[in-house]
Structure 1
Amino acid sequence: MSEISVSPNPALSTQEVVDLTRRLNYGTWRYQRDWNPLHIADAEGCYIIDGNGKRYLDLSAQLMCVNLGHKNPVVVESIAEQARRLPYIAPGHTTEVRAQLSRMLLDVMPEGLTKFFFATSGTEANEAAFKIARLSTGKSKIISRYRSYHGATMASMGATGDPRRWPAEPSVKGQGFLFAPEVNCYKCPIKHTYPQCGIACADYLEHMIENESDVAAVIVEPVVGTNGVLVPPAEYLPKLLEICRRHNVLLIADEVMSGWGRTGSWFAVDNWGVKPDILVTAKGITSAYVPLGVCATTAKVAAHFDDHLFAHGHTYEAHPITLYPAIATIQEMQRLDLVNRARSMGEYLGPKLRALKDRHPSIGEVRGLGLFWAVELVKDHVSKAPLNTRQEKMDGKPLVVDRVAADMMKRGVSVVAWISHFVIAPPLIVEKADLDFAVEVLDASLSIADEAVAG
């Protein structure tokens, strides 16, 4: 077969790329009137490069997902190789790559998770988890938490606690999602103080289970992602698991963002020795090079479907081109020892970020685990009120964090900002010099937030 070259023709200028995108595409989670997307022409390692050739340190690994950094050659080649071998086959068949990845997952997933459903995103994997939980238990309600995000499809959005749920609140009868208080020891939503509280937020969740008729599952991000990188105290997840076991309720761990070495363990639950009934993951499983999600369950959950219909599936389940890059990603993580590296680099980054708090009155708290950190901005240290509110975000009002992030971009660092904090989660291959540069830029740009506090 002769080689075929496919490329845009004629080539577009950077301005044409931006103009066409604005006119013909939707910008996600935003008002469209002021969308002015940056044209990214290339990326490599820990850096993205715009259409004018300017380089930016990718301090949040895009959407906390490019864990291997950009253009890892082994993963890139795995995509091409699988496309040459077998680009697609229906999920009712099987493939060697499907069997190999499934066996490999047994080695890295928390012990006891032994049955896998492959999706093409985290939200789709969560949809599978909700169906599996409801079908296997015969119960319908699922408890989530307010500071949470579980995806943009309808059931996953119904389980989402953050304000992105508000405009598209699922109205289908029987969605069955309830919300519990998050674990947030910096600003406890039920106004307790750790450790004297005895993990009251978990106790409250048990109170909800006891006062509802048919709770099938509790879903949590073991370390909350976009909504603030909330790291629970050591007692929280073990206590929550014990509560779920006592009431015959499944525990679903949403590790779409916190998995794949991000917290210094393969999965965040590993930090506390917790083994959930269902674990959902995506993003870092392929370093986001191709879209893949996984819903993993225990054998006990899976056994229900031996004699009951597994009422779920889709065209792209176990898509071969998504599976081989996952194998390559896991092998690269092992070769580069990235799980341990995330832990050690986090020990280097954490003190540098915490030192910023002494210099900036706008910083309320710095928290994190591994290479997963948040810097939270507040109006003052007494009330701990955020510099901006959820409602202001949903109303499209200018936010201080966005102004700071824009200034950081001018200085060569790209970071995810959300309402009143920054999510700092660079590729796990990041070097100390990159982290030094990022903290230096953040230090300089935070003067904008300090002025907002003073004003």
Structure 2
Amino acid sequence: MKLALQGENFLTNNDVRQLDRSYVFHSWSAQGNLNPLVIAGAKGCQLWDYDGKKYLDFSSQLVNVNIGYQHPKVLAAMKAQLEELVTIAPATANLARGEAAKRIVELAPAGFHKVFFTNAGADANENAIRMARLYTGRDKVLSAYRSYHGNTGSAIAATGDWRRVPNEYSRGHVHFFNPYLYRSEFNATNEQEECARALQHLRRIIECEGPASIAAILLESIPGTAGILVPPAGYMKGVRALADEFGIVLILDEVMAGFGRTGRWFAFEHDDVVPDLITFAKGVNAGYVPAGGVLISEAISHYFDDHFFAGGLTYSGHPLAMAAIVATLDAMKEENVVENAALVGDGALRAGLNALSEKYALVGEVRGVGVFQALELVTNPETKTPVAAADMAAIKLALTEAGLLSFVVENRIHVVPPCTVTADEVKQGLAIIDQVLGQFSGLVR
């Protein structure tokens, strides 16, 4: 194997790809025919490979690199923490952990007092479910079919998409349909009908499952992987009211939508609701070190003052991850990163996506908020027939070859650049999407 910077022997993409294919087992994949993209480095919203090809990131990897790559303040904080204390058990008190929790609580709505740290978003949802069950003494968890909550036991069972089916080992999970007017399950013709009918549907699920058996409703504030499904006005308040009526804990999953992605610190702020538990990960430190957690409201926090919490993780509040959180949140405030996500996302980015929708019949719908946008692609605007999987794979490949990293799910291009993206970078990325959509416009019949 060649080593970089040893005389004239530099690593190539092929060297790294062969190493990967020899030893790495990839997630959500059949392993035999993988040909992974090779990345050597990154800065800001730009990445490059070992052969010198550059990419603009419109995926934020897995919608987590909110502050962009290699932010100097975050790197400096991580280096300082490495020198001071690289790891410590979660039962100890640690300065970085306390400072990270304090900053997160300060961003939360009034009435949130504590943070339980996890390693990622999946185990954040696991532990929020555990808290709700212990707090209520009930078992069932209601979640949406159009959702993704992670790939651990209860989190994947709570997930609504197809990945749930081969992994349903956890008990007590019930699913319902959340709003999605473009493909309404309720024969709705407008947002008001979709909202009212979706809430009535949820009420009936609660009544039929038995309210006294339901511990929690778990919802993404804006379902991300399922399609960036911005809820209609009034829906989230209606869910909050149902939870209150039946004594159910409301858990809002902010793993993908939180920490600036929608132009607010939390996506639920757009709907003026306050949950009982908030799960987070990804953008809290832009994925520089794995971290997640549960923000806990006062009532639930106080319950565990004298009730045993049966949960814990070796790396809960790992100092290096906590230092990255502190530096990320401080830098985002100092540099107005959340405001930039709103200004650029709801401005130049959304305007450009709307223009593409007007230009190409291939674009069935544009939806989203901030730098959390999606293009849904169809082969017939009247029947809304989704573009086939093979064609979407070809579109993704064409975007990559043109120098744009995209987040493609089913028949959608999720347009989710870092929250630091500039108007010029938006213009560059939109031009590539325009070029590729033009290449595939013949898919429309």
Q: Pick the TM interval, shorter chain.
A: over 0.9
The counterpart of 1:430, out of the listed 412, 416, 421, is 421
Q: What is the aligned partner in structure 2 of residue 411 from structure 1?
A: 402
Once the two structures are superposed, the pairs formed by residues 12-161 of structure 1 within 5 Å of their partners are: 12-161=11-160
- CA drift of 1:338 comes to 1.2
Q: What is the aligned partner in structure 2 of residue 381 from structure 1?
A: 381
Residues 11 and 50 of structure 2 are in contact (CA less than 8 Å); yes or no, is this contact kept in structure 1?
no
1:211 aligned onto 2:202: no
Name which of structure 1's ranges 270-279 and 109-118 shifts more when overlaid on structure 2. 109-118
Q: What is the aligned partner in structure 2 of residue 392 from structure 1?
A: none
**Secondary structure in structure 1 of the residue aligned to 2:25:** coil
Once the two structures are superposed, the pairs formed by residues 243-254 of structure 1 within 5 Å of their partners are: 243-254=242-253
Residues 399 and 419 of structure 1 are in contact (CA less than 8 Å); yes or no, is this contact kept in structure 2?
no
- 1:265, 1:196 → 2: CA distance? 24
Q: What is the aligned partner in structure 2 of residue 393 from structure 1?
A: none
The percent identity for this pair of structures is 34
The counterpart of 1:201, out of the listed 181, 186, 198, is 198
**Secondary structure in structure 1 of the residue aligned to 2:215:** strand
**Secondary structure in structure 2 of the residue aligned to 1:186:** helix
**Secondary structure in structure 1 of the residue aligned to 2:379:** coil
Code of the aligned partner of 1:191: N
Q: Can you list the C-alpha shifts for 1:339-377, whole angstroms capped at 9, x where unaligned? A: 111111112211110111122121110011011100001
- CA drift of 1:8 comes to 10
- 1:87, 1:181 → 2: CA distance? 44
Stretches of structure 2 lacking an aligned partner (at least 5 in a row)? none
Code of the aligned partner of 1:202: L
Q: Can you list the C-alpha shifts for 1:388-426, whole angstroms capped at 9, x where unaligned? A: 3xxxxxxxxx52222111111111111010110011111
- 1:196, 1:230 → 2: CA distance? 15
Q: What is the aligned partner in structure 1 of residue 168 from structure 2?
A: 170
- 1:169, 1:192 → 2: CA distance? 32
- 1:240, 1:354 → 2: CA distance? 30
Q: What is the aligned partner in structure 1 of residue 341 from structure 2?
A: 342
Residues 58 and 404 of structure 2 are in contact (CA less than 8 Å); yes or no, is this contact kept in structure 1?
yes
**Secondary structure in structure 2 of the residue aligned to 1:333:** helix
- CA drift of 1:89 comes to 1.0
**Secondary structure in structure 2 of the residue aligned to 1:306:** coil
Code of the aligned partner of 2:422: E
Q: What is the aligned partner in structure 1 of residue 233 from structure 2?
A: 234
- 2:49, 2:275 → 1: CA distance? 41
- CA drift of 1:272 comes to 1.4
Q: What is the aligned partner in structure 1 of residue 183 from structure 2?
A: 187
Residues 260 and 284 of structure 1 are in contact (CA less than 8 Å); yes or no, is this contact kept in structure 2?
yes
1:286 aligned onto 2:282: no
Residues 12 and 51 of structure 2 are in contact (CA less than 8 Å); yes or no, is this contact kept in structure 1?
no
Once the two structures are superposed, the pairs formed by residues 253-268 of structure 1 within 5 Å of their partners are: 253-268=252-267
Cα 1:139–1:449 change in 2 (3 A) is farther
**Secondary structure in structure 1 of the residue aligned to 2:181:** coil
Code of the aligned partner of 1:61: S
Cα 1:274–1:196 change in 2 (3 A) is closer
- 1:112, 1:203 → 2: CA distance? 29
- 2:317, 2:413 → 1: CA distance? 34
- 1:212, 1:14 → 2: CA distance? 54
- CA drift of 1:61 comes to 1.0
Residues 403 and 448 of structure 1 are in contact (CA less than 8 Å); yes or no, is this contact kept in structure 2?
no
Q: What is the aligned partner in structure 1 of residue 351 from structure 2?
A: 351
- CA drift of 1:207 comes to 1.1
**Secondary structure in structure 2 of the residue aligned to 1:399:** helix
- 1:162, 1:354 → 2: CA distance? 28
**Secondary structure in structure 1 of the residue aligned to 2:444:** helix
- 2:247, 2:362 → 1: CA distance? 44
- 1:286, 1:103 → 2: CA distance? 15
- CA drift of 1:34 comes to 2.1
- CA drift of 1:141 comes to 0.5
Residues 55 and 404 of structure 2 are in contact (CA less than 8 Å); yes or no, is this contact kept in structure 1?
yes
The two structures have a TM-score, normalised by structure 1, of 0.93
Q: What is the aligned partner in structure 2 of residue 297 from structure 1?
A: 296
Code of the aligned partner of 1:38: L
- 1:445, 1:31 → 2: CA distance? 27
Residues 401 and 449 of structure 1 are in contact (CA less than 8 Å); yes or no, is this contact kept in structure 2?
no
- CA drift of 1:12 comes to 4.4
Cα 1:42–1:141 change in 2 (3 A) is same
Q: Can you list the C-alpha shifts for 1:255-312, whole angstroms capped at 9, x where unaligned? A: 0000001101100011111110000000010111110101111010122212221000
Q: What is the aligned partner in structure 1 of residue 369 from structure 2?
A: 369
- 1:453, 1:155 → 2: CA distance? 40
- CA drift of 1:199 comes to 2.2
Residues 153 and 169 of structure 2 are in contact (CA less than 8 Å); yes or no, is this contact kept in structure 1?
no
Q: Can you list the C-alpha shifts for 1:412-441, whole angstroms capped at 9, x where unaligned? A: 111010110011111111111111111111
- CA drift of 1:105 comes to 1.6
Runs of 4+ in 1 over 4 A off after TM superposition: 6-12
1:402 aligned onto 2:398: no
Code of the aligned partner of 2:120: S
